[in-house]
Structure 1
């Protein structure tokens, strides 16, 4: 009993010191600058830029933890660190972070608590691997509804996002059962849609197969939209280096659905694999949307 009390006291003191230290980091290390949602979307549209996005899930993998549908993978962690510092190398490639390093008033109370907890524990770890000499772009372009305190901008942002793929031939690289845009009008403005289906979990384990198949299926002028968790962050960068426009844009379809239904809590969406809600991994196996099925050009098991 005494040893347990001593251990608990030591853990408490360590956590208290860690919180104090990370709060002080703001005064000794410059916060990363994150450009606005509009600036980010405009850069993608006007420059035909590619984008890799980072959130707490990507940092979890970098620091040797599992996250959602991606298990522990040190190679993926190293690749994520590599891409993060390429911020600013080209106008055609954007690295994006969440706008969580200064004021949090633009977020809902729940989201504010989430980011406070994460940064009180990890701010220094995150800052020391960033390139803070140039601005980052806004990672939440695909999470434009749920976490925002003022949701009135969401419809306008959604319409701006649609301009990215308007009139384009789109290749969607997504997890099996993600089914982006199926049953809604999100991608109605695209000229055409094809899909490569990838493993819904641990996609990075099949990374070589995925990138090989994308290169076989994609034309140079295609727009490649990727929804593969942390794997998408690396894949968007590698495809940009090969001359493609590739967007790490997972969750955009889910946020669009929540916006249309005016959701105030994270609702399950029928027919979608979702990692952020209970039972989200259980998806109807009898899905037989003929239009969707006709768009599938390859499935990676």
Structure 2
């Protein structure tokens, strides 16, 4: 098996993606679980998803789409003991699946988004992150993520980008919403690099939309990896205010208000309904700021805020215009 699976290194993979503007679909242990018929913590098994995964794995990587696999087939020396033990068990359990895949000539490295915590020698991690940041350098980003992910809230990973917009999706079973997610990306992703952090659903989205002249990067748990690298973590540390990689059964996130994060949300894909908050305003501008701020700071994010103004004074219009720049869910007439 090891002679049939050629996986590029992290730097080689990133060089190829940067040169060609490729999309990326990364496969790890969870996707193989699903191919085998198993559910995983954040995605229930679905037979059609398993079939699509098999097709993507047998898709030849090219300038349009790089299919990635873990580089664990020719040795595990570069990984720490925990990772080595994990992959040994995994490869033994799914030996038959790996032997029956019609392997392509080469794959990119799944670990472009896991360049820190599992490595025995972490001295190259900073360089890997800097290499990765070149993907969105001076570009507009559309993040597509789960509703507890809050990627890069509290860190500077995307500080070299021009702008950030977000599509918020269910944290579990995002695959069951993939058609709506893809439609939303078409609506808001023009001329942007799209970074998808939705587990198994991300591979399908990258595979589908890469044919539409869009760059879709399935970037997985990069936020947790970056946080761990900044704190010099050895074991994996849970973040208190957002989802942390592989802490899949923990829902006790602190609700820390971040107006910048909320202002970046352009669309919410959810099984909760969108609520329209209609504010009729007729006069006292001293209260308008507080009213708009109060609505904008609600923990329920799938809302639209409509302000009906019966006072077209300069001060009133200025307040509404400033707030709409901070929160794109607000409209006023």
TM range (shorter): 0.7 to 0.9
Aligned to 1:233: 203
Aligned to 1:85: 58
Q: Is 1:122 matched up with 2:91?
A: no
CA distance in 2, matches of 1:98, 1:144: 12
Deviation at 1:44, TM superposition (A): 1.5
Which of 47, 64, 70 is the equivalent residue of 1:98?
70
CA distance in 2, matches of 1:259, 1:249: 16
Cα RMSD (Å) of the superposition?
1.3
1:182 aligned counterpart, secondary structure: coil
CA distance in 1, matches of 2:83, 2:45: 25
Q: How far does the alpha carbon of each residue in 1:247-274 deviate from its partner, in whole angstroms, 9 at most, with x for none?
A: 0001001000000001111101122123
1:265 aligned counterpart, secondary structure: coil
Q: Is 1:299 matched up with 2:272?
A: no
Deviation at 1:117, TM superposition (A): 0.8
Deviation at 1:47, TM superposition (A): 1.2
Q: How far does the alpha carbon of each residue in 1:43-89 deviate from its partner, in whole angstroms, 9 at most, with x for none?
A: 1212111110001100111111011211111111111111111123x
Aligned to 1:164: 135
Aligned to 1:113: 85
Q: Is the 8 A contact 1:145 1:255 kept in 2?
A: yes
Change (3 A) 1:278 1:52: closer
CA distance in 2, matches of 1:54, 1:291: 32
CA distance in 1, matches of 2:52, 2:186: 20
Q: Is 1:187 matched up with 2:197?
A: no
Q: Which runs of 5+ in 1 are unaligned?
A: 1-24
In the TM superposition, 1:24-39 aligns within 5 A as 30-39=3-12
Which of 69, 72, 78 is the equivalent residue of 2:42?
69
Structure with the largest fraction of helix = 1
Q: Which runs of 5+ in 2 are unaligned?
A: 271-333
2:124 aligned counterpart, secondary structure: helix
CA distance in 1, matches of 2:97, 2:152: 36
In the TM superposition, 1:1-301 aligns within 5 A as 30-88=3-61, 90-132=62-104, 134-219=105-190, 221-274=191-244, 276-277=246-247, 280-284=250-254, 286-301=255-270
TM-score (ref. length: structure 2): 0.78
Change (3 A) 1:275 1:264: closer
1:174 aligned counterpart, secondary structure: strand
> Larger radius of gyration, structure 1 or 2?
2
TM-score (ref. length: structure 1): 0.87
Q: How far does the alpha carbon of each residue in 1:190-227 deviate from its partner, in whole angstroms, 9 at most, with x for none?
A: 011000000000101111111111111111x2100000
Deviation at 1:174, TM superposition (A): 0.5
Q: Is the 8 A contact 2:39 2:45 kept in 1?
A: yes
CA distance in 1, matches of 2:150, 2:37: 29
Higher RCO by CA contacts (8 Å cutoff, separation 6 or greater): 1
Count of equivalent residues: 270
Comparing 286-295 and 53-62, the one that deviates more: 286-295
Deviation at 1:92, TM superposition (A): 2.5
Q: Is the 8 A contact 2:41 2:248 kept in 1?
A: no
Deviation at 1:130, TM superposition (A): 3.9
Q: Is the 8 A contact 1:69 1:275 kept in 2?
A: no
Aligned to 1:22: none
